[in-house]
Amino acid sequence: QTEFGVQLFLMSCCVCSSLSLSVSSAATFVVNVTQSSYEAEENHSITLEWTFTTKTQGSYRELFIYCEANTDHGVFVLYHVHEGVEIPDSQDDQFSGRVQSDKDVLREGRIRLHVSRLRTEDSGLYLCDVKTEDGFNSGRCRLNITAAADQIQTQRPTLTPEQERGRWIIIFIIFITVGLTAFLMVV
Protein backbone atom coordinates (compact mmCIF):
# COMPACT_ATOMS: atom_id res chain seq x y z
CA GLN A 1 0.00 0.00 0.00
CA THR A 2 2.87 2.38 0.74
CA GLU A 3 4.32 1.81 -2.72
CA PHE A 4 0.91 2.55 -4.29
CA GLY A 5 0.60 5.74 -2.18
CA VAL A 6 4.05 6.91 -3.34
CA GLN A 7 3.12 6.27 -7.00
CA LEU A 8 -0.18 8.15 -6.56
CA PHE A 9 1.66 11.05 -4.92
CA LEU A 10 4.23 11.20 -7.77
CA MET A 11 1.47 11.09 -10.41
CA SER A 12 -0.43 13.91 -8.71
CA CYS A 13 2.80 15.97 -8.53
CA CYS A 14 3.34 15.47 -12.27
CA VAL A 15 -0.25 16.51 -13.04
CA CYS A 16 0.01 19.57 -10.77
CA SER A 17 3.32 20.67 -12.28
CA SER A 18 2.03 20.29 -15.86
CA LEU A 19 -1.11 22.22 -14.91
CA SER A 20 0.94 25.02 -13.39
CA LEU A 21 3.13 25.15 -16.51
CA SER A 22 0.11 25.43 -18.81
CA VAL A 23 -1.52 28.06 -16.57
CA SER A 24 1.67 30.13 -16.41
CA SER A 25 2.14 29.96 -20.20
CA ALA A 26 -1.51 30.97 -20.74
CA ALA A 27 -1.03 33.90 -18.39
CA THR A 28 1.88 35.17 -20.50
CA PHE A 29 -0.09 34.91 -23.77
CA VAL A 30 -2.27 38.01 -24.07
CA VAL A 31 -4.89 39.21 -26.56
CA ASN A 32 -5.78 42.91 -26.32
CA VAL A 33 -8.13 45.18 -28.21
CA THR A 34 -6.92 48.52 -29.51
CA GLN A 35 -10.21 50.08 -28.34
CA SER A 36 -12.79 48.60 -26.01
CA SER A 37 -15.63 50.46 -27.71
CA TYR A 38 -16.21 51.71 -31.26
CA GLU A 39 -18.87 54.08 -32.60
CA ALA A 40 -19.76 54.38 -36.29
CA GLU A 41 -22.56 55.45 -38.57
CA GLU A 42 -24.58 53.18 -40.83
CA ASN A 43 -23.18 52.70 -44.39
CA HIS A 44 -19.68 53.78 -43.26
CA SER A 45 -16.65 51.55 -42.61
CA ILE A 46 -14.63 50.81 -39.50
CA THR A 47 -11.42 48.99 -38.62
CA LEU A 48 -11.41 46.72 -35.56
CA GLU A 49 -8.02 45.68 -34.20
CA TRP A 50 -6.70 43.14 -31.70
CA THR A 51 -3.10 42.45 -30.75
CA PHE A 52 -1.64 39.21 -29.43
CA THR A 53 1.67 38.09 -27.98
CA THR A 54 3.90 36.72 -30.72
CA LYS A 55 7.44 35.59 -31.28
CA THR A 56 8.96 36.96 -34.47
CA GLN A 57 10.46 33.56 -35.35
CA GLY A 58 7.20 31.76 -34.53
CA SER A 59 5.58 29.39 -36.99
CA TYR A 60 1.95 29.92 -37.91
CA ARG A 61 1.22 26.21 -38.35
CA GLU A 62 -0.44 26.37 -34.95
CA LEU A 63 -2.14 29.77 -35.42
CA PHE A 64 -5.86 29.62 -34.78
CA ILE A 65 -8.04 32.77 -34.88
CA TYR A 66 -11.80 32.85 -34.52
CA CYS A 67 -13.56 36.23 -34.54
CA GLU A 68 -17.30 36.58 -34.13
CA ALA A 69 -19.97 39.23 -33.72
CA ASN A 70 -22.53 38.65 -30.99
CA THR A 71 -25.48 40.92 -31.88
CA ASP A 72 -29.18 41.13 -31.06
CA HIS A 73 -29.77 39.29 -34.35
CA GLY A 74 -27.49 36.33 -33.61
CA VAL A 75 -23.88 35.22 -33.42
CA PHE A 76 -21.95 35.55 -36.70
CA VAL A 77 -18.49 34.42 -37.79
CA LEU A 78 -16.40 37.35 -39.09
CA TYR A 79 -12.98 35.83 -39.57
CA HIS A 80 -11.44 32.39 -39.13
CA VAL A 81 -7.85 31.16 -39.44
CA HIS A 82 -7.05 27.48 -38.91
CA GLU A 83 -3.44 26.23 -38.75
CA GLY A 84 -2.28 29.54 -40.24
CA VAL A 85 -4.69 29.38 -43.21
CA GLU A 86 -7.64 31.75 -43.59
CA ILE A 87 -10.99 29.95 -43.99
CA PRO A 88 -13.20 32.44 -45.90
CA ASP A 89 -16.07 29.96 -46.32
CA SER A 90 -16.69 30.03 -42.57
CA GLN A 91 -17.68 33.72 -42.71
CA ASP A 92 -21.43 34.13 -42.15
CA ASP A 93 -23.59 35.59 -44.94
CA GLN A 94 -24.41 38.57 -42.67
CA PHE A 95 -20.80 39.77 -43.17
CA SER A 96 -19.96 38.15 -46.51
CA GLY A 97 -18.01 40.56 -48.70
CA ARG A 98 -18.03 43.22 -45.98
CA VAL A 99 -15.10 42.03 -43.82
CA GLN A 100 -11.53 42.13 -45.07
CA SER A 101 -8.47 41.19 -43.03
CA ASP A 102 -5.10 42.90 -43.21
CA LYS A 103 -2.86 39.84 -43.64
CA ASP A 104 0.37 41.89 -43.58
CA VAL A 105 0.06 42.64 -39.85
CA LEU A 106 -0.59 39.07 -38.64
CA ARG A 107 3.16 38.38 -38.30
CA GLU A 108 3.38 41.41 -36.01
CA GLY A 109 0.71 39.87 -33.76
CA ARG A 110 -2.12 42.10 -34.96
CA ILE A 111 -5.54 41.18 -36.25
CA ARG A 112 -7.01 44.05 -38.22
CA LEU A 113 -10.51 43.62 -39.69
CA HIS A 114 -12.01 46.24 -42.00
CA VAL A 115 -15.83 46.12 -41.87
CA SER A 116 -17.60 48.05 -44.63
CA ARG A 117 -21.19 49.03 -45.40
CA LEU A 118 -22.07 48.98 -41.71
CA ARG A 119 -25.65 48.26 -40.68
CA THR A 120 -27.38 49.15 -37.42
CA GLU A 121 -27.88 45.41 -36.80
CA ASP A 122 -24.06 45.02 -36.74
CA SER A 123 -24.08 46.61 -33.27
CA GLY A 124 -22.92 44.22 -30.56
CA LEU A 125 -20.00 42.51 -28.87
CA TYR A 126 -17.08 41.49 -31.09
CA LEU A 127 -14.80 38.69 -29.83
CA CYS A 128 -11.53 37.33 -31.15
CA ASP A 129 -10.10 34.05 -29.80
CA VAL A 130 -6.44 33.46 -30.61
CA LYS A 131 -4.39 30.29 -30.07
CA THR A 132 -0.73 29.92 -30.96
CA GLU A 133 2.04 27.59 -29.78
CA ASP A 134 2.48 30.12 -26.94
CA GLY A 135 -1.04 29.80 -25.51
CA PHE A 136 -4.70 30.76 -25.87
CA ASN A 137 -6.59 33.93 -24.97
CA SER A 138 -9.33 36.20 -26.27
CA GLY A 139 -10.20 39.88 -26.50
CA ARG A 140 -13.51 41.66 -26.91
CA CYS A 141 -14.83 45.06 -27.85
CA ARG A 142 -18.22 46.67 -28.34
CA LEU A 143 -19.41 48.20 -31.63
CA ASN A 144 -22.35 50.60 -31.79
CA ILE A 145 -23.75 51.58 -35.19
CA THR A 146 -26.15 54.53 -35.35
CA ALA A 147 -28.59 55.20 -38.18
CA ALA A 148 -27.26 57.42 -40.95
CA ALA A 149 -28.29 61.06 -40.62
CA ASP A 150 -30.04 61.00 -44.01
CA GLN A 151 -31.91 57.86 -42.96
CA ILE A 152 -33.44 59.43 -39.85
CA GLN A 153 -36.84 60.74 -40.83
CA THR A 154 -39.01 62.91 -38.68
CA GLN A 155 -42.52 61.63 -38.40
CA ARG A 156 -44.99 63.76 -40.35
CA PRO A 157 -48.28 64.52 -38.62
CA THR A 158 -51.22 62.65 -40.10
CA LEU A 159 -53.45 64.92 -42.18
CA THR A 160 -57.21 64.61 -42.50
CA PRO A 161 -58.56 64.04 -46.04
CA GLU A 162 -59.66 67.70 -46.20
CA GLN A 163 -56.19 68.92 -45.16
CA GLU A 164 -54.56 66.60 -47.70
CA ARG A 165 -56.86 67.91 -50.47
CA GLY A 166 -56.05 71.50 -49.47
CA ARG A 167 -52.33 70.70 -49.56
CA TRP A 168 -52.63 69.36 -53.14
CA ILE A 169 -54.65 72.40 -54.21
CA ILE A 170 -51.86 74.70 -52.90
CA ILE A 171 -49.21 72.64 -54.73
CA PHE A 172 -51.32 72.83 -57.93
CA ILE A 173 -51.73 76.63 -57.62
CA ILE A 174 -47.95 77.05 -57.09
CA PHE A 175 -47.25 74.85 -60.12
CA ILE A 176 -49.68 76.84 -62.34
CA THR A 177 -48.28 80.16 -61.07
CA VAL A 178 -44.67 79.16 -61.75
CA GLY A 179 -45.60 77.78 -65.18
CA LEU A 180 -47.63 80.88 -66.10
CA THR A 181 -44.80 83.18 -64.94
CA ALA A 182 -42.27 81.23 -67.01
CA PHE A 183 -44.58 81.42 -70.05
CA LEU A 184 -45.06 85.19 -69.70
CA MET A 185 -41.31 85.73 -69.37
CA VAL A 186 -40.71 83.83 -72.60
CA VAL A 187 -43.39 85.79 -74.48
Question: Could you give the 3-state DSSP secondary structure of residue 126?
Answer: strand
Q: Is residue 63 part of a domain?
A: yes
Q: Residue 130, exposed/middle/buried by CB under 10 A (0-12, 13-18, 19+)? A: buried
Q: Is residue 169 part of a domain?
A: no
Averaged over 168-184, what is the pLDDT? 68
Q: Is residue 15 part of a domain?
A: no
pLDDT reported for residue 26: 45
Q: Which of 33, 127, 12, 30 is nearest to 77 (CA)?
A: 127
Q: Is residue 19 part of a domain?
A: no
Q: Is residue 104 part of a domain?
A: yes
Q: Is residue 14 part of a domain?
A: no
pTM above 0.95, yes or no: no
Please count the other Cβ atoms lying within 10 Å of the Cβ belonging to residue 3. Answer: 7
Domain region containing 61: 26-146
Which of 17-21, 36-40, 107-111, 155-159 shows the lowest mean pLDDT across its residues? 17-21
Measured in degrees and rounded to the nearest 5, phi and psi for residue 10 equal: -65, -40
Q: Is residue 184 part of a domain?
A: no
Question: Total domain count for the chain?
Answer: 1
pLDDT at 183 over 80: no
CATH number at residue 126: 2.60.40.10
Q: Is residue 44 part of a domain?
A: yes
Chain segment 104-145, per-residue pLDDT in tens: 898 889 999 999 999 999 999 999 999 998 899 999 999 999
**Average pLDDT taken over every residue of the chain:** 79
